[in-house]
Structure 1
Amino acid sequence: MRTINSFKNILFGLSGQFISVFMGFAVRTVFIYSLGIEYMGIDGLFSSILIMLSLANLGFDTAIIYSLYKPLAENDIQKIKALMNLYQKAYRIIGLIIFLLGMILFPFIPFLIKDGKIINHLNIIYFLFLVNSVLSYYFVYKQAIIIADQKTYIISKIHNYFIVFSNIIQILILLMTKNYILLLSFQVLIRIIENVYIVGKVHKLYPFLKGKNNVQLNKNDKKEFFKNLYSLFLYKVSGVVINGTDNIIIARYVGIIQVGMYSNYLLIISTLSTFISHVFYSLNSSVGNLVVTEEKEKKYFIFRVIHFANFWVYGLTTLLIWNLINPFIIIWLGKEFVFNKLILFSILLNFLTAGMQSASTTYRQTTGLFNKGKYRPIIAAVINIVLSLILVRIIGITGVFIGTVVSRLCTYFWYDPFIIYKYIFGKPVKRYFLRYAIYFTLIVLSIFITETIFLFSFSNLIFRTFSSLIIPNALFYIVFRKTKEFIYLKSVVNNVLGIGKRKILKKKSTSL
């Protein structure tokens, strides 16, 4: 059942990403040509500010989802209702706090932008961003039970429909009015409609959540929950600072146009990242179920499989982006929107080191290791801000991303696997780092091989794409084809595609 739900989650998540990719590029292209790169920079900056304000979330979402795994497995309805009641109350307060913090920031918005005078109605634009963010907190808490119950595909399916409708209307608004404020107003409206629809779906699936819910957690459960929540809040601080400050620093010290240029790269990279993370995030609830029901060796083997899949997918994607993104942006928007190779390298190093952390993050979240090294995220956040502010003055936009990478390497990179291997697997962590070194070396080798080929041969976009797919996959297959991780993944994929069943049926028909 875990495997079926995981692949349903992955399937609908990936289909949603295909739709998002196509519609996202369409909207982005119309946006840039209708409003200009400056407004795209504003879009990226205000999104980053709201990421910072989401600190008020505290990590409630992760804490609640983790707490729901066991009562869902045991069908403990009263415990589920108590947790959802707590989540509802918390998010109403969180929404209010974010709104108040956002309003406090109002007078300072112009000072965050080096060249902000080129944008009209800045305060109205910011207010609509804020409202769009705050309103979701009054609905989104109901989604937690679907996610914890290994049915994320339900949310993905609904979201896919709304993506298509929303983006078509946004394109029409841009083409007919070129009015950014009208566009943002529509985004607020469609967000409300989608969230209300999902709440209705939750009530159909879990009718015991309909109506008034006054069930309370007992004293011990509440104490354990808030203990985990405190540690998660510290992780939340670090994640928000690491992911949310880049655009703010670039806007303040480099310029809003560069934020707009970076947002084009970010659209492509974050789309691919979200596409990939849907695969790995879809495994979270299944891993959570595995953690509470399986033996230590099974947990360890599945971790190795996820880490191996993690390497293959992120390694291949990094190579594809390195070889294709600049030629693609030249075709799409023009040479004036392209970053140099040094900036691209720093962006991709950030992408790869974050992506390769996914297996450790999944196990840390699903095994409840929230309290181990709980102050380390604060250290990561401080390192990130200090280094980024120093390096941006020395080497420009590249320094912002290098600061983010270094902060991650000094903290999450080594400590997350350390605590997982020590407390969950009871094994030395050097096995993890040895595998990581092998994986990273193969990724670098793949890049070197393709760069050499392109240097001494004719290389258009089609040839680059073909080479970037064939070379790393062939190299990874040759090295890992006999490993247990590869054999296991191959068997899972074959079972999902029905290849094994078709072979059996073919043999039977032959014998007849």
Structure 2
Amino acid sequence: MSRVSYSIKNVKVSLTFYMLVLLLNFFSRRIFLETLGNDLVGLSETVMGYIGFLNLAEMGIPVAIANVLYAPLFRDDRERVTELVSLLGWLLRLVGILIAAAGLVFAVFIPWIFAREIAAGLDAGVIYAAYFTFLITTLLSYLVNYKQNLLVADQKGYEVARVFNLCLIAKVLLQMALLKWAGAGYLSWLLLEVVFGVVFAVWLEAVMRRVYPWLRSSPRLGRGVVRKYREVFAGVKRIFSHRIAGFVLTQSDKLVVAQTLSLTAVTFYTNYSLIINRVTAFITATLQNSYAGVGNLVAEGDRGKIKLVFWQFNAMYFWLGGTLAFGFYMLVNPFIELWLPPDRYELFSGLIVLMLVGTLFVGLVRQTVQYFLNAYGLYHDVWAAWTEAGLNVAVSVWACLHYGVAGVIVGKLLSTGLFMLLWKPYFLYRRGFKESSAEYWLTLAKYFALIAGTWLLVGWVVGLGWLPPMTTWGGWAVNALAVPLLYGLVCGGAMYAGSEGMRCFVRLAAGLVRGAVAKRRR
């Protein structure tokens, strides 16, 4: 299969499962909140945040190995692929041991970390049960599931998506049934987390043997080829710093809210961040194969094709980012009112929602530059990762103490905006493309102007009152269809008229559609 064919297959699988999981997650969250309560739901999310901190011990090893895997996969060098997967297994086994040891040490401090919650009546045994449940499922990914990185690097991420999502759907359905209709408690919910973690590991191994019957990797072999692949370790040192920044951006917000406010506040904040994360995860999962595709493209070295693909991706992500950001702003508060029981949510003000929109937009439009930085192996800007992480934490903690949840969002928006929209593109042009970044800034200004202009125009049109009120699911569904569609058409048309990148993307998409139709007719 070609690179484009693999991309299309990944999109199909990811899109199908995303829609199923999205509906299931929103339905299940209501049941979990009704049966478990705000504190236990907030506890699970907070504990997963702390486990994410332990995951920093992974140091970006899978990313570093993936960068080295692109070339042998392109040449079908099975011996080198086997050695690299074995090396990954050996390194992640060491990481797993380190995380297990650090996790046991961290567990000693749980009574102090959750002192306020324990004093309020939350059983310490329940906190420990949640902590060790998520620690065990995390360790499985290092000790057993490491081979999935080969599938992703080889543009076969759809295999991982299929297994993971089927396990997720089955797990959530059983959790809902046990809580809602069998009267089971939180411990049974946690038990199913572990059970399906094991099911996923066993199933994934079976898939690996089917797709790569020639793969005979082992951590022992990986230990023997350590010196042969010293370039991996050079990349790990740099990627680790970027992993820290990534953790801070994705996990620290919940931890800051938990420590400065309460677990209930974590639940209220997560009602919004869950939607943002699902939207972002949908886009990134659907196009996850693009990471490997861009890596293979850079490995080929065709400079003209590299820049063409860059501008296609850039136009697509700015268009998607603007459309989804506008839809989120218009639809999210009415959705939460319909979605959750009245005592299980707190609606944020329009200003806070607008700041959340900014984090959603930056999280989407950053993808293109990140694809190409990864493909070129550009992790040399270690100072930027540390500065971004430090700025995020400092601003978030100070602002959260003074302004509540809004402060956490300000910290995240400020740090990501400075580094993801300003520094990273400049670094890519300077070290990757090796040319002036002037064309990027001119295009960026044009995109922002078109997106803002469309926002004002479509906002005015929607405000005329021709859509039904969003007080029922039917009214909300009509708005959810009409608002993003109207914005997407207007913004897409404006970008098509003013951007060569958008025109290239549209021609590519039209060609793929015509090819698919012709294939079906044959």
TM bin, normalised by shorter chain, reads over 0.9
Q: 1:478 to 1:498 in 2, by over 3 A?
A: closer
Q: Please, what TM-score do these two structures have when normalized by structure 1?
A: 0.93
Q: Work out whether 1:477 is the aligned partner of 2:492.
A: yes
The equivalent of 2:135 in structure 1 is 130
Q: Work out whether 1:396 is the aligned partner of 2:404.
A: yes
Q: Relative to structure 2, which stretch is displaced further, 318-327 or 464-473?
A: 464-473
Offset at residue 391 of structure 1 (A)? 0.7
Q: Distance in 1 between matches of 2:92 and 2:411?
A: 32
1:131-150 correspondence runs (5 A): 131-150=136-155
Residue identity matched to 1:351? L
Residue identity matched to 1:387? V
Offset at residue 230 of structure 1 (A)? 0.4
How many residues in Structure 1 have an aligned counterpart in Structure 2? 504
Q: Distance in 2 between matches of 1:350 and 1:479?
A: 24
Once the two structures are superposed, residues 461-499 of structure 1 have per-residue CA deviations (whole angstroms, 9 ceiling, x without a partner) of 345334422432232233223443233322332333336
Q: Distance in 2 between matches of 1:443 and 1:188?
A: 44
Q: 1:177 to 1:335 in 2, by over 3 A?
A: closer
Q: Work out whether 1:457 is the aligned partner of 2:465.
A: yes
Q: Distance in 2 between matches of 1:147 and 1:465?
A: 32
Asked if the contact 1:173/1:182 (under 8 Å) is kept, the reply is yes
Once the two structures are superposed, residues 265-319 of structure 1 have per-residue CA deviations (whole angstroms, 9 ceiling, x without a partner) of 2222211111111233221111111111142121111101101111111111111
Q: Distance in 2 between matches of 1:5 and 1:16?
A: 17
1:72-87 correspondence runs (5 A): 72-87=73-88
Q: Distance in 2 between matches of 1:125 and 1:279?
A: 30
Offset at residue 502 of structure 1 (A)? 4.8
Residue identity matched to 2:284? S
* Identity across the alignment (%): 22
Q: Distance in 2 between matches of 1:488 and 1:444?
A: 22
Q: Distance in 2 between matches of 1:350 and 1:124?
A: 33
- 2:274 corresponds to which of 243, 264, 267: 267
Asked if the contact 1:308/1:485 (under 8 Å) is kept, the reply is yes
Q: Distance in 1 between matches of 2:265 and 2:387?
A: 28
The equivalent of 1:160 in structure 2 is 165
Q: 1:454 to 1:210 in 2, by over 3 A?
A: same
SS in 2 for 1:457: coil
Q: Distance in 2 between matches of 1:277 and 1:421?
A: 23
Q: Superposition RMSD on alpha carbons, in Å?
A: 2.3
Q: Work out whether 1:288 is the aligned partner of 2:289.
A: no
Q: Distance in 2 between matches of 1:202 and 1:288?
A: 22
Q: Distance in 2 between matches of 1:410 and 1:112?
A: 32
1:105-504 correspondence runs (5 A): 105-113=106-114, 114-116=116-118, 117-120=120-123, 121-175=126-180, 176-210=182-216, 212=218, 214=221, 216-217=224-225, 219=227, 221-336=228-343, 337=345, 338-371=347-380, 373-457=381-465, 459-461=468-470, 462=475, 464-482=479-497, 483-498=499-514, 502=518
Q: Distance in 2 between matches of 1:244 and 1:22?
A: 24
Q: Distance in 1 between matches of 2:500 and 2:360?
A: 27
Q: Distance in 2 between matches of 1:394 and 1:42?
A: 24
Asked if the contact 1:250/1:259 (under 8 Å) is kept, the reply is yes
Q: 1:49 to 1:504 in 2, by over 3 A?
A: closer
Q: 1:150 to 1:418 in 2, by over 3 A?
A: same
Asked if the contact 1:360/1:416 (under 8 Å) is kept, the reply is yes
The equivalent of 1:12 in structure 2 is 13
Asked if the contact 1:316/1:469 (under 8 Å) is kept, the reply is yes
Asked if the contact 1:12/1:153 (under 8 Å) is kept, the reply is yes
Unaligned runs of 5+ in 1: 507-512
SS in 1 for 2:85: helix
The equivalent of 1:510 in structure 2 is none
SS in 1 for 2:164: helix
The equivalent of 1:509 in structure 2 is none
Once the two structures are superposed, residues 27-77 of structure 1 have per-residue CA deviations (whole angstroms, 9 ceiling, x without a partner) of 212111111122111121111111111100100111111111011111222
Q: Distance in 1 between matches of 2:521 and 2:76?
A: 38
Residue identity matched to 1:174? L
Q: Relative to structure 2, which stretch is displaced further, 334-343 or 65-74?
A: 334-343
The equivalent of 1:50 in structure 2 is 51
Q: 1:141 to 1:466 in 2, by over 3 A?
A: closer
Q: 1:423 to 1:96 in 2, by over 3 A?
A: same
Asked if the contact 1:79/1:217 (under 8 Å) is kept, the reply is no
Once the two structures are superposed, residues 427-450 of structure 1 have per-residue CA deviations (whole angstroms, 9 ceiling, x without a partner) of 321221222222233333333334
Asked if the contact 1:60/1:87 (under 8 Å) is kept, the reply is yes
Q: Distance in 1 between matches of 2:50 and 2:207?
A: 31
Residue identity matched to 1:296? R
Q: Distance in 2 between matches of 1:14 and 1:334?
A: 29
Q: Please, what TM-score do these two structures have when normalized by structure 2?
A: 0.91
Q: 1:424 to 1:326 in 2, by over 3 A?
A: same
Q: Work out whether 1:70 is the aligned partner of 2:95.
A: no
Q: Distance in 1 between matches of 2:232 and 2:78?
A: 17
Offset at residue 360 of structure 1 (A)? 0.5
Once the two structures are superposed, residues 192-240 of structure 1 have per-residue CA deviations (whole angstroms, 9 ceiling, x without a partner) of 1112211121122222323656264374x52211111100001011111
Q: Distance in 1 between matches of 2:280 and 2:213?
A: 35
Asked if the contact 2:10/2:287 (under 8 Å) is kept, the reply is no
Offset at residue 361 of structure 1 (A)? 0.5
Unaligned runs of 5+ in 2: none
SS in 2 for 1:264: helix
The equivalent of 1:32 in structure 2 is 33
Asked if the contact 1:9/1:151 (under 8 Å) is kept, the reply is yes
Q: Distance in 2 between matches of 1:82 and 1:93?
A: 17
Q: Distance in 2 between matches of 1:76 and 1:450?
A: 53
Q: Distance in 2 between matches of 1:409 and 1:312?
A: 18
Once the two structures are superposed, residues 59-112 of structure 1 have per-residue CA deviations (whole angstroms, 9 ceiling, x without a partner) of 011111111101111122222122111111111111121122222222333444
Q: 1:180 to 1:334 in 2, by over 3 A?
A: closer
Offset at residue 335 of structure 1 (A)? 5.0
Q: Distance in 1 between matches of 2:424 and 2:245?
A: 14
Offset at residue 171 of structure 1 (A)? 1.1
Asked if the contact 1:147/1:285 (under 8 Å) is kept, the reply is yes
Asked if the contact 1:495/1:501 (under 8 Å) is kept, the reply is no
Q: 1:423 to 1:211 in 2, by over 3 A?
A: closer
Q: Relative to structure 2, which stretch is displaced further, 205-214 or 322-331?
A: 205-214
The equivalent of 2:22 in structure 1 is 21
